[in-house]
A and B are shown apart, each in its own frame.
Chain A
Amino acid sequence: MNKKTRNTILNILLVALVVGLLCFFQSDTSSHSYAISIIERSVIYAVVAVAMNLLNGFTGLFSLGQAGFMAIGAYVTAILTIPVEMRDSVYYMNGIAGWLHDLHAPMVVALLIGGLFAAAAAALIGIPILRLKSDYLAIATLGFAEIIRAFLAAPMMDQITNGSYGLNNIPGFKNIFQPVALAVICIGIMVLLIISSFGRAFKAIREDDIAAEAMGINLFHHKELSFVISSFFTGIAGGMLAIYMRSIDTKTFQVMLTYNILLIVVLGGIGSVTGSVIGSFLINGGQEWLRFLDDDTFKIAGVHIPLFRPGFRMVVYSILLMVVVLFWRRGIMGTNEFSWDGLFGLFKRKKKKVSAGGES
């Protein structure tokens, strides 16, 4: 059979495998709840990572404002999805604003509205900010994220966002398929954008924006488009995070969150969508698998290791990241995407190396 048929069959098999795996987990939620929560968190972070990659990796705009847009998406989604009958108890200190009390939306609509709010904020912020140079853009976007956070937590906003008390009683996902499906759709749309002519314009801007402008690409429009779309999906991911966590407050959306996502993007490869997805699963799964590093009663072969104390996991993690940044800048996927050819090529190269080694 030719390559195209082979690829299609393999793709269908892969999808079937993934769906099968998800059904397996869903069948017994209580004993698999740990694995389920990791998968949910990984897909949510994967969406943000791809959105960040769209901005940083494909358009070359180094932005550190992701946490702020996630916060907007999260709060809007939370406010709209908390069941009306619970609202008075959630806003127990100061009460909820009258017009907001009965405003309710189903999950997907709430997520979309959250994304739209984030996109609107991005559109406004983009106008003054996008002409700044890369380092300044980074700090300016970081600054905006902090401003957004301060705004959401302000006592003046108590009746809308519950200020510093945070929101809880957010209804969660009904099953594992919801977040995974949402994530697949979001990432799918972003991939479509990347392979379209817009995507090529973004890459041109990344490589050399002056040349791109000379070739007739309207710099501002394209940068703004990239920024707005990236923020839209970041907002949706923020909303999904709110639903996953069931309760949020502004402390969740500090700069650390943006750094965590940045590290996923770097690990996976700046400029690769597959890389971001893989990076997200590795980081989220790895964080949990490495939990034993924090356990001071853990023994390896009966020997007590004095290094293992709470906090060690994050140190190992940080060192891992430094190693990637210094010695393995491409990350896992570099700028490549997943392809069956690439996967088989990987095995073929290994075989060749082995046989070549055997001969000499």
Chain B
Amino acid sequence: MKRKAFTAVAAISMAMMMMSQAAADDNVIKIGIFEPLTGENGGGGTQEAQAADYANEVRPTVTVDGVEYTVELDKVDNKSDKTEAVTAAQKLVSDGVTGVLGTYGSGCAIAAGPTFAEAKVPAIGASCTNPQVTSACDYYFRVCFLDPFQGSVLAQYAWDEGYTKVALIDQIGDDYSVGQAGFFNKKFTELGGEIVTEQQFQTNQSDFKAILTEVKASGAEAVFAPSSITTAPLLLKQAKELGVDLPFMAGDTWYNSTIIENAGAENAEGVVCSTFFDEADTSSQITVDFVNGYKEWLNADDSRIEKNGGDDAIVGNCALMYDAYNVMLDAIESANSLDGEAIKDALAALQTEGVTGKISFDANGDAEKDTAYIDIVENGAFKFLKTVTAE
């Protein structure tokens, strides 16, 4: 009896699954939000996905051929895992999305690329910085700068600050971390500096005492540690405990107030990181409007604040997602069609201005961004330090 019930349930589930193909609704188009909502990058992914919600509220429709379509967001969780990423991408394709936004965490973007390319669904990454995301896939674009750029920018900064010996700490198995460290290494050595030691740690490692002791013994003047939000507070606190009193530098992932919160303001003091966006930048009206609007929206609901990491500070990836959303809709309107290939061509030719600055794409699909903001932590908050432009 039990067996029969089980088989019946199995049959029904298979049938439902097969019939769950989304019937195209009249005047509704779907945009896929491809993010990790759980897993190692769940925090960043949730923040980014929420920014898409806001963007959707601000601009809920798009007009093609005179017909106004409501834009619906189709969210899938890739769990920060490459296998899941492929399935999640397949689901979006099956659901008939017109375009995809995301993901946070280059590894999953790289994994899902071929799926989107085969289905001719254009995807715009908001914050995935590894070069492979776009170089290996025609249909993937991104509105952020790349790791080679980030790594060099920080190397330039370190050199300008007078550091000649830097220690690297990066995460084995993470494209983002190892990639960025590699680019920093190349540029810094080119400028004449010396990487005195490179310490690597495993995913999910939480004890960095041995690594930090080695860093201390290496005679480094500063540390470059591109790593996740998970690792940052641990490195900072443990460094303090071991008496490693060196300035820490990192990439865009560290531009997140949860790090200051978890590490403690005194431990985070002096941390420098590169970022795509600074909410204190008042040079552009679009940016100011976005900052004010988004903060108001976040504060209207406690659950939104929680998803944003506990406060209303605007992280770089949220601003980028907002831009990515608008870029996608702009491209659809510019192509005046819902056809994937047409939208992709429109994206390649698009020029617009977003909250993170001017946006246009090069042959690879990378945003032609030549400026990075460098921020420093002072008195428990990120403060804008300077902008660095690539030569």
Question: A and B: real partners?
Answer: yes
Given contacts A164-B178, A165-B175, contact A247 B110 (CB under 8 A): yes
Asked whether A169 is an interface residue with its Cβ less than 8 Å from the other chain, the reply is yes
Q: How far is the CA of A36 from the CA of B93 in the complex (A)?
A: 12
Contact of B91 among A34, A250, A295, A311 (CB under 8 A): A34
A289-B16, A294-B77 as given contacts; A37 in contact with B90, CB under 8 Å:
yes
Smallest Cβ distance from A247 to chain B, in angstroms?
4
Alpha-carbon separation in the docked complex, A165 to B200 (Å): 14
Residue A230 CB within 8 A of the other chain: no
Tell me if A95 is interfacial: C-beta within 8 Å of chain B.
no
Expressed in whole angstroms, the Cα–Cα distance for A225 and B90 within the complex equals 39
> How long is the Cα–Cα vector from A302 to B2 in the complex, in angstroms?
31
B371 contacts partner chain A, Cβ-Cβ < 8 Å: no
- In the complex with contacts A34-B21, A93-B179, A93-B182, A310-B13 CB distance below 8 A: no
Within 8 A of A (CB), among B173-223: 173-175, 178-179, 182, 200, 203
Residues of A within 8 A of B178 (CB): 93, 164-165
Smallest beta-carbon distance B159→chain A, Å: 22
Contact call A31/B82, Cβ cutoff below 8 A: no
Chain B residue at minimum C-beta to C-beta distance from A244: B86
Q: Which of B128-136, B320-328, B329-337 lines the interface with chain A? A: B128-136
Contact status A251-B173, CB under 8 Å: yes
Closest partner residue, chain A, to B2 (CB atom): A328
- Contact partner of B4 among A37, A90, A278, A350, CB < 8 A? A350
Residues of B within 8 A of A249 (CB): 82, 107, 173
**A155: contacting residue among B16, B77, B93, B200, CB under 8 A:** B200
Q: Which of A98-106, A187-195, A280-288 contacts B (4 or more CB under 8 A)?
A: A280-288
Closest 5 CB pairs of A and B: A34-B94, A164-B173, A37-B90, A310-B37, A247-B111
12 inter-chain pairs at a CB distance below 8 angstroms, sorted by A residue, are A34-B91, A153-B173, A163-B172, A164-B173, A164-B174, A249-B107, A249-B173, A251-B81, A286-B10, A289-B16, A332-B6, A332-B7
Given that A32-B21, A33-B93, A250-B173 are contacting pairs, would A168 and B110 also be in contact in the complex, using a CB cutoff of 8 Å? yes
Does A126 touch B at the CB level, under 8 Å? no
Contact between A30 and B93 (Cβ–Cβ < 8 Å)?
Answer: yes
The reply to whether B13 and A286 form a contact with Cβ atoms under 8 Å apart is yes
Name 19 extra pairs, CB < 8 A, besides A153-B173, A168-B136.
A30-B119, A31-B21, A31-B94, A32-B94, A33-B93, A33-B94, A41-B87, A89-B135, A89-B136, A92-B131, A163-B172, A166-B82, A166-B107, A249-B82, A281-B10, A285-B13, A291-B76, A310-B38, A311-B38
Among residues of A, the one whose C-beta sits closest to the C-beta of B21 is: A31
Per-position binary interface string of chain A over residues 174-216, scored 1 when its CB falls under 8 Å from any chain B CB and 0 otherwise: 0000000000000000000000000000000000000000000
Measured between C-beta atoms, what is the minimum distance from A37 to chain B in Å? 4
- Residues of B contacting A244 with CB < 8 Å? 86
Chain B CB within 8 A of A120 CB: no
Residues of the A chain whose Cβ atoms lie less than 8 Å from the Cβ of B173: 153, 164, 166, 249-251
- Using Cβ atoms and an 8 Å threshold, which residues of chain B touch A328? 2
Question: Cβ of B4: which chain A residues have Cβ within 8 Å of it?
Answer: 346, 350
Establish whether residues A35 and B17, one from each chain, have CB atoms under 8 Å apart when the complex forms: yes
Q: Which residues of A contact B20 (CB under 8 A)?
A: 34
Minimum CB–CB distance from A149 to chain B (whole Å) comes to 10
Neighbouring A residues of B182 by C-beta, 8 Å: 93
- Tell me the complex Cα distance, A245–B88, Å: 11
Cross-chain contact A281 with B83 (CB below 8 angstroms): no
Chain B proximity of A96: nearest CB distance (Å): 15
- Judged by a CB distance under 8 angstroms, whether B280 is at the interface is no
Cross-interface CB contact of B10 among A38, A241, A282, A294, cutoff 8 Å = A282
CB B181 to nearest CB in A, in angstroms, measures 10
Instruction: List the A side residues contacting B132 at CB < 8 Å.
Output: 89, 92, 168
Contacts of A291 in B (CB 8 A): 76, 91
Q: With A30-B93, A34-B91, A89-B136 as given contacts, are A245 and B14 in contact (CB-CB < 8 Å)?
A: no
Contact of B136 with A169 in the complex, beta carbons under 8 Å: yes
Which parts of A27-67 form the interface with B (CB within 8 Å)? 30-38, 41
Q: Which residues of A contact B6 (CB under 8 A)?
A: 332
With A30-B119, A153-B173, A250-B173: A38-B17 Cβ-Cβ less than 8 Å: yes
Q: A339 at the A/B interface (Cβ < 8 Å)?
A: no
Cβ of B300 within 8 Å of any chain A Cβ, yes or no, is: no
Asked if B94 contacts A245 (CB within 8 A), the reply is: no
Question: What residues of chain B lie closer than 8 Å to A222, measured between beta carbons?
Answer: none
Query: Which single member of A37, A86, A90, A346 contacts B86 (CB below 8 Å)?
Result: A37
Asked if B175 and A251 sit within 8 Å, CB to CB, the answer is no
If A35-B17, A92-B131 touch, does A164 touch B172 (CB 8 Å cutoff)?
yes
- At the interface, yes or no: B114 with Cβ under 8 Å from chain A? yes
Residues of A within 8 A of B14 (CB): 281, 285
Q: Is B96 an interface residue (CB 8 A)?
A: yes
Task: Assess whether B18 is in contact with A35, with CB atoms less than 8 Å apart.
Answer: yes
- Give the distance to chain A from B44, nearest Cβ to Cβ, in Å: 14
Query: Known: A37-B86, A289-B13, A350-B4. Contact between A251 and B172, CB under 8 A?
Result: no
* Complex CA–CA separation, A147 to B373 (angstroms): 42
**A38: which B residues are within 8 A, CB to CB?**
17, 87
Query: Which residues on the A side are within 8 Å of B253 (C-beta)?
Result: none
Does any Cβ of B come within 8 Å of A72's Cβ? no
Answer whether residue B256 sits at the interface, using C-beta atoms and an 8 A cutoff: no
- Do A332 and B83 touch (CB < 8 A)? no
